[in-house]
Chain A
């Protein structure tokens, strides 16, 4: 069966033309009536696609592009007040408009779904196994209980839950996020459905877990031969996983084609911009990212023409006249026809997207783009980012902005309400060393729970650490007086991850940016001047000053956060995942801004991130953390080209690259299991429980890993160092 699937996946569309599609969606529209007489929200406007058996279709788009809503509509999961038109056919049977009872018979058996959030997907009061068995029983009540139970255990084994027999009786809260997502996938596979819709199945997970889940979805597809509709915003995930891609923007498909056509020959400016905006982990010097200016239009008041026209660098007047259809490349009507007034709809394309093959794009200039072979860099203005002046001075000669030595942060675990007793210790940060020099960026990377944020909080707190020292600009923070500490805060500022919660919703932007200035006693007139200067510096408008954070988009809010951090002209900026909550096209703008500011103001950054692609783009040096320890540190180039620690290798290998060709030839190192609890870290090397190298070692060598904790040692005589007894550089990207 597996070979069969592989051949169909790779086969040209023509070879299986007679193969009837499993799921056909045509001209689907979803409208939510406006609240309180407000305008209707047109979330989906004419989506058509088909998926055949064993095929994987990727639906890509930013938040609010309607990608999730369209699949929820196909599953019949939208609230009753949504108005849905068009048609959704499953094996040729129309399922749109079926009542809930009929739909429930199909759901799970013929079509099933994996949701984004594994936390809320399972009922907390039933055991995982019972929920799985129920999924089997509900479609075939005649199945004996014992058989359903066997099947559930079998499914748990299939999705790689260790000790399936015992874990059957576990409750969802005893599972980690990755394990819960596995159970969700098991549930989706339970009745061998023909279509599995995956709605951002890996977005809430860490990269190493994401790699496991993607691997598992491959297995699921092989096992069931199902068609998969993969909805995601991550262009990397799609590249290696899907056969065809549908790009959505403002509720409409704007481009459709095979993976290679989209990634190497995109003919729609939006897709081109999106691909140019992604930081690449596999390229060394990528240059500035391509930012798409502006924000997506509001779905309740769309412009009459192409919805992307206001943000498009090559928009023409006729783009604003009518919305282009999804047509084959070069098949768009000439400009004259568009300009001419329509008499009745001039033969809309023969059911857009119906013919499985063919690269289609909804841009009137798609033919032109194809002829000139334009790329994102040709059509988008890419900002020039000057070189930092500090980069000419040798690193050792530059002043130290921050030095952390042997820093420790342990949280006590206590039990009991009245008489608290200590039952254990969470080793959040367990002895880390690093330094940051003037004008450089050190990235602290690692999965969630590795102690990145705890480290930041310790540094920003400027208090005496539990052990070790923190020196900021050469001053040890443990002996600081209150006034000195206040003085030092001027020089170090922080930008937070979530632009929703990092700005006080009750304060207008002006007051938010002015707060650090007022706190540090800057004169009122000077405050006003400086605030407007900062608003301008981060690319906002003067009239934004009186608005409240809620009136801004995520990217703009993050700019306000950056402006606030820069207000006092700090020398060190601590960035706590500053772009991970933003859409790709917005993220590019913020990353460019950070690079530009560093070059202009000579700032030093401590950049905390879990996204290694962004890190490669922005950082000079990288420190990889695992369970409260730094396992590898060095300059970005060395770390990415020759990672020495097995964890770094696995981490780099787990990240999907938005390049289908490369992605297909890569072999991923997939780590087993989850992060051990920081309350009870393994003895010796902390990584050994998941280490792919550990298994290959001899008994005596394993003994060493289990008893001796490795220290950071230089691996290549240079800047790079790894904490592994058996470190050796190897290519991983």
Chain B
């Protein structure tokens, strides 16, 4: 792919070759990694599955088949049914839709908040640092479970799940932000940060352009872990009935319901759990690829 690029460049070289486009480069880099492709395809398939699944199964979400309770996978129910005769396939795919959204959104919001709070606190120091870290400490000591329990009534209805997303994010950014702050303090004394400061680059640009990219490995790792922990966190809440509220259904709700029957009616647990594993795997693959593409010193960049 680069041969054509080079030949055009060398023709123009004597005058002025075009400026290299970092984003295009990055995109090409990403798509050149097999892991990213596999991860993206998996994620796209999951999304498709989540969107189309409930439509093709022939059963409504929450609909019960009283003729087939706790049934094994069959032609009617591809993944069997649960204790109340609900179709596992329909429940799982519908749950997957919510869980995908919750997992990805929580991860992105949490990591973004953590990165911004941590880096601003670390870069500016002084009062800004004190203020932001005080907020972080406060959020750490708040009993998140109790607050979620109190507010769980708001999780039902349209957009209720989004409130849950925000709340999950609010209670999970603090630890990462402390790590980011520590890293920022050590990066702040690097000479390239001094150089940028001395050429007049405003502080917010220094943070976005020099500091955050240099901890992208940490942030990406954090975001990928956040995806799974958000889903699992939501699952835990659902187990106590405090997560996604009926009639909404999430992967966590389905897994929680199925886990009790994991040994007797394996299909209730196996299928949703498998989907969760695939989803986390896909996100991790994309995260790995993104980290390598952003890090010029990583081995896979040698081309």
One of B13-21, B41-49, B166-174 at the interface: B13-21
A494-B198, A504-B214, A550-B296 in contact; A510/B191 too (CB < 8 A)? no
Task: Check if A486 is an interface residue, CB within 8 A of chain B.
Answer: yes
Contact across chains for B213 and A501 when beta carbons are under 8 A apart: no
Chain A, range 445-466, C-beta contacts under 8 Å to B = 457, 460-461
The contact of A496 among B9, B195, B210, B296, by CB within 8 Å, is B195
A528 and B22 in contact (CB under 8 A), knowing A515-B196, A548-B296?
Answer: no
Q: Which residues of A contact B13 (CB under 8 A)?
A: 542
Residue from A493, A498, A501 whose CB has the most chain B CB atoms within 10 Å? A501
- Select the stretch in A175-183, A393-401, A519-527 that faces chain B: A519-527
**Is there contact, CB below 8 Å, between B201 and A527?**
no
Q: Provided the pairs A501-B190, A506-B296 are in contact, do residues A527 and B200 lie with their beta carbons within 8 angstroms?
A: no
A506:B214 contact, CB within 8 angstroms? yes
Chain A residues closer than 8 Å to B16, beta-carbon distance: 528-529, 532
Q: Which residues of B contact A496 (CB under 8 A)?
A: 191, 194-195
Contact with A along B1-24 (1 / 0, CB 8 A): 000000001000100111110100
User: Given A505-B297, A529-B16, A531-B19 in contact, is the A546-B25 Cβ separation under 8 Å?
Assistant: yes
B296 touches A505 (CB 8 A): yes
Docked pose: A497 CA to B194 CA in angstroms: 12
Task: Given the known inter-chain contacts A515-B201, A546-B25, please indicate yes or no for A502 contacting B20, CB distance below 8 A.
Answer: no
- Closest A residue to B202 using CB positions: A519
A205-237, CB < 8 A from B: none
Contact A519 B294 (CB under 8 A): no
B295 cross-chain contacts in A, Cβ below 8 A: 506
B145 interface hit (Cβ, 8 Å): no
**Minimum CB distance partner of B297 in chain A:** A550
* Contact across chains for A511 and B22 when beta carbons are under 8 A apart: yes
Q: Are A524 and B198 in contact (CB under 8 A)?
A: no
User: Are the C-beta atoms of B20 and A545 separated by less than 8 Å?
Assistant: yes
- Does the CB pair B195–A519 fall under 8 Å? no
Contact, CB under 8 Å: B18 / A501: no
Which one of B25, B191, B194, B201 contacts A519 once the chains associate, using CB atoms below 8 Å?
B201
Residues of B within 8 Å of A515, CB to CB, are 196, 199, 201, 209
B296 contacts A532, C-beta separation under 8 Å? no
Cβ A528 vs Cβ B191 within 8 A: no
In whole angstroms, what is the CA distance A524 to B21 when docked? 12
Alpha-carbon distance between A490 and B210 when the two chains are bound, in angstroms:
20
Most chain A CB within 10 A, of B192, B210, B213, B216, is at B192
Is A312 on the interface with B (CB-CB < 8 A)? no
Instruction: Please classify the interface of chain B as helix (H, G, I), strand (E, B), loop, or mixed, using the class held by over half of its residues.
Output: helix
Chain A neighbourhood of B200, CB < 8 A: 485-486, 489-490, 516, 519-520
A542 x B17 contact (CB < 8 A):
yes
| Residue of A whose beta carbon sits closest to that of B205 | A519
Which residues on the A side are within 8 Å of B214 (C-beta)? 504-506
Contact of A501 with B17 in the complex, beta carbons under 8 Å: no
Cβ of A564 within 8 Å of any chain B Cβ, yes or no, is yes
CA distance A332 to B120 in the complex (A): 66
What is the 8 Å Cβ interface bit string for chain A, positions 612-647, against chain B (1 contact, 0 not)?
A: 000000000000000000000000000000000000
Known: A489-B200, A515-B201. A546 touches B296 (CB 8 A): no
A568 in the interface, Cβ–Cβ < 8 Å?
yes
Q: Does A514 contact B (CB under 8 A)?
A: yes
Q: Is the CB of B20 within 8 A of A508?
A: yes
Query: In the bound complex, how far is the Cα of B17 from the Cα of A461, in angstroms?
Result: 35
Is A503's beta carbon under 8 Å from chain B? yes
A494/B19 contact (C-beta < 8 A), A504-B210, A504-B214, A515-B199 known: no
* A519-B20 Cα distance, complex, nearest whole Å: 18
The answer to whether A494 and B194 have CB atoms under 8 Å apart is yes
Give the nearest-CB partner of A510 in chain B. B20
Interface size of B by CB at 8 A reads: 29
Chain B residues, Cβ within 8 Å of A489: 198-200
Give the complex CA separation of A489 and B200 in angstroms: 6
Shortest A662–chain B CB gap in Å is 37
Which chain B residues (171-198) contact chain A, with CB distance < 8 Å? 190-192, 194-196, 198
Contacts of A490 in B (CB 8 A): 200
Nearest Cβ in chain A — how far from B99, in angstroms?
Answer: 33
> Restricting to B268-303, which residues have a CB under 8 Å from any CB of A?
294-297
A506 touches B294 (CB 8 A): yes
Cβ distance A206 to chain B, nearest Cβ, rounded Å: 21
Which B residues touch A550, using CB under 8 A?
Answer: 296-297
Contact (Cβ within 8 A) B19 A510: yes
**Which residues of the partner chain A approach B195 to less than 8 Å between Cβ atoms?**
494, 496, 502, 561, 564
Q: Which residues of B contact A506 (CB under 8 A)?
A: 213-214, 216, 294-296
- Do the beta carbons of A532 and B201 come within 8 Å of each other? no
Kindly state the separation between the CA atoms of A528 and B199 in the bound complex, as whole angstroms.
18
Question: A527 CA to B295 CA in the complex, in Å?
Answer: 25
Complex formed: what's the CA distance from A498 to B209 in Å?
A: 21
Nearest-CB residue, chain A, relative to B196: A515
Cβ of A516 to closest chain B Cβ, rounded Å? 4
Assess whether B296 is in contact with A504, with CB atoms less than 8 Å apart. Answer: no
A339 to B199, CA, bound (A): 56
Q: In the complex, which of the residues A502, A503, A516 contacts B199, with contact meaning CB atoms closer than 8 Å?
A: A516
B22 to chain A, nearest CB (A): 6
Across the interface, name the chain A residue whose C-beta is closest to B198.
A460
A505 → B minimal CB distance (Å): 6
Contact A498 B198 (CB under 8 A): no
Which residues of chain A have C-beta atoms less than 8 A from B17's C-beta?
528, 532, 542, 545
Residues of B contacting A564 with CB < 8 Å?
A: 195
Q: What residues of A have a CB within 8 angstroms of the CB of B192 in the complex?
A: 501-504
Minimum CB–CB distance from B44 to chain A (whole Å) comes to 28
B residues near A485, Cβ cutoff 8 Å: 200
Bound together, the chains give a CA A344 to CA B205 distance in angstroms of 65
Minimal Cβ-Cβ distance residue in B for A574:
B198
CB 8 Å contact bits of A524-560 with B (1 = contact, 0 = none):
1001110110000000001001101111000000000
Distance (Å) between the CB of A541 and the closest chain B CB?
10
How far apart are the CA atoms of A631 and B19 in the complex, in Å?
49
CB closest residue in chain B, given A509: B20
Give Cα A486–Cα B197 distance, bound, in whole angstroms.
10
Q: Which residues of B contact A507 (CB under 8 A)?
A: 209, 213
In the docked arrangement, what's the CA distance between A503 and B193, Å? 9
Given A506-B216, A519-B199, A520-B200; A501-B19 close (CB under 8 Å): no
Contact A501 B191, CB 8 Å, known A510-B20, A527-B19, A546-B20: yes
Among B17, B294, B295, which residue has the most Cβ atoms of chain A within 10 A? Answer: B17
Name which of A546, A549, A561 has the most chain B CB atoms within 10 A of its CB: A546
Tell me the smallest distance from the CB of B6 to a CB of chain A, in Å: 8
Closest chain-B Cβ to A397's Cβ sits at a distance in Å of 30
Chain A residue at smallest Cβ distance from B190: A501
Q: How far is the CA of A510 from the CA of B198 in the complex (A)?
A: 19
- Of residues 466 through 519 on chain A, the ones whose CB sits less than 8 Å from some CB of chain B are 485-486, 489-490, 492-494, 496-498, 501-508, 510-511, 514-516, 519
Sample of 11 A–B contacts (CB below 8 Å): A486-B200, A493-B198, A493-B199, A494-B194, A496-B191, A504-B209, A504-B210, A515-B199, A542-B9, A549-B296, A564-B195
**What are the 8 A-B residue pairs with the smallest beta carbon separation, nearest first?**
A548-B296, A502-B191, A489-B200, A496-B191, A528-B19, A516-B199, A506-B213, A504-B192
Known: A493-B198, A506-B296, A510-B20. 12 other contacts (CB 8 A): A460-B198, A489-B200, A490-B200, A501-B192, A504-B210, A511-B22, A516-B200, A519-B201, A520-B199, A524-B19, A551-B296, A561-B195
Interface residues of chain A, those whose CB is within 8 Å of chain B, are 457, 460-461, 485-486, 489-490, 492-494, 496-498, 501-508, 510-511, 514-516, 519-520, 524, 527-529, 531-532, 542, 545-546, 548-551, 561, 564, 568
B contacts, CB < 8 Å to A? 9, 13, 16-20, 22, 25, 190-192, 194-196, 198-201, 205, 209-210, 213-214, 216, 294-297
